[in-house]
Amino acid sequence: MPARFLAEAILAMFLLLTVLGSTDIKAPVGFAGLAIGLVLVLIHLVGIPITNSSVNPARSIAPAVFVGGLALQQLWLFIVAPFLGAALAAGLYIGIRLPDVMISTPEDERALESEQAERSVTAE
């Protein structure tokens, strides 16, 4: 059971890291769906032999409710592990994401003055 928990958490972490990275404002536009889809295929190829690969708690709840028995007993795994993996991914992404460049107000004003000067020269 610990191996299944670890697998679900890690696979969910990879999925969320892909979603966060490919939808970031700095990421190339138009490729998020491709990246997320390919990672989801890879996650299922790796995870199906281990845990039947849920990675998504919503996908696990309805079948467990209808099947009952052992599926309901294991449902906690498919809810807790992806949430833990998502939390790990969020923390990791905050750590590895490049910070946005912050421009101070004086630098911004100097840039504005130089831009206005350039525009006045080209307008003449």
Assigned domain for 33 exists: yes
CA distances from residue 42 to 23, 26, 122, 123 in whole angstroms, order as listed = 19, 24, 54, 56
Mean of all residue pLDDT scores within the chain:
84
Assigned domain for 107 exists: no
Q: What is the pLDDT of residue 18?
A: 95
Residue range of the domain that includes 85? 2-99
Any idea which of 7-21, 50-64, 69-83 has the lowest mean pLDDT? Answer: 50-64
Mean pLDDT of 96-117: 71
pLDDT at 120 over 80: no
pLDDT at 85 over 70: yes
User: Rounded distance, CA 19 to CA 56, Å?
Assistant: 13
Assigned domain for 44 exists: yes
Assigned domain for 108 exists: no
21 — pLDDT class (breaks 50, 70, 90): very high
10 — pLDDT class (breaks 50, 70, 90): very high
User: Rounded distance, CA 119 to CA 57, Å?
Assistant: 56
Assigned domain for 53 exists: yes
Burial of 13-28, coded b for 16+ CB within 10 Å and e otherwise, reads bbbbbbbbbbeeeeee
Residue 86's CATH number:
1.20.1080.10
Assigned domain for 79 exists: yes
